[in-house]
Amino acid sequence: MADYQTMQTGVAGARSAQIDEGLRAHMNKVYGTMSVGMVITALAAWAISGLATTTDPALAAAQLNANTYLTSLGVTLYGSPLKWVIMFAPLAFVFGFSAMINRMSAATAQLVFYAFAAVMGLSISSIFLIYTSTSIVQVFLITAIAFAGLSLWGYTTKKDISGWGSFLIMGVIGLIVASIVNIFLASPAMMFAISILGVLIFAGLTAYDTQNIKNTYLEHAMHGDQEWLGKAAIMGALNLYLDFINMFMFLLQLFGSRE
């Protein structure tokens, strides 16, 4: 009897160790995929802004400031109705990706995520026209430190924060509506309030999404469906990527130094 109990305890311990190892691998994949997406976004934004601007008056299609001009590509991207398509393309991409991921393989979902990251780079490339490079780097580092701390807390806390989800999603919807309204109002006070609320909401979502990714893995690890877990890692990376990008953009609006 004692031998049987010892054997059962050993099996349970081995299974627990296997799940812990799998969770670490799963989280590493989530953070790794997210990081690659961030690099793609940064490179795309930097490259597109470089093609859209010039310091050579001979190549200028419009003047941006005293020393910088927009090329014909820049005028098309930032000065034509196409800018609205570029602005809302990531939002449409997210909805489409979320709806279709169950019909994709994990490998295809990963490629689609990287394509989305490139589209996001195009959408936010105008920050290089508005803010100084120094302030962009500074705010990025601030965001990275805050994101790491919030995500670590969400992963390690014993507190169940699943109840935050519905309130935070309602907050995101409110932010989207308020931001669209403020496009037409152009109110600095409203933009300031939106930016502060945006930072707080996406800070909360960073912790919430991290805990949710962890709990989702633990709930499904026993089934051993690697294809499903692979797609779950991609969706987790997408959620954390969006938390980071949005927190960065709202912090940039609050603290970025304009050109």
Task: State the average pLDDT over residues 174-198.
Answer: 93
pLDDT of residue 198: 96
Cα of first residue to Cα of last residue in the chain, in angstroms, is 76
In the chain, the amino acid numbered 258 is: R
Statement: residue 106 has pLDDT above 60? yes
pLDDT digits (tens, 9 = 90+) for 30-83: 999 999 999 999 999 999 999 999 988 888 888 887 788 899 999 999 989 999
DSSP 221: G
pLDDT digits (tens, 9 = 90+) for 228-250: 888 999 999 999 999 999 999 99
pLDDT digits (tens, 9 = 90+) for 10-37: 444 445 666 678 889 999 999 999 999 9
pLDDT of residue 17: 62
Q: In the numeric block, which tokens belong to residue 31?
A: 């953070």
In this structure, what are the phi and psi dihedrals at residue 105, rounded to the nearest 5 degrees?
-80, 165
Would you say 128 and 258 are in contact if contact means Cβ atoms under 8 Å apart? no
Domain segments of the chain as ranges: 2-255
Q: CB under 8 Å to 255, separation ≥6 — which residues? A: 135, 138, 139, 142
DSSP 58: G
Mean pLDDT computed over every residue of the chain: 89
Q: pLDDT band at 3, cuts 50/70/90?
A: low
Task: State the average pLDDT over residues 156-161.
Answer: 93
Task: State the average pLDDT over residues 193-222.
Answer: 92
| CA dihedral (10, 15, 18, 23) positive or negative | negative
Statement: residue 2 has pLDDT above 70? no
pLDDT of residue 11: 44
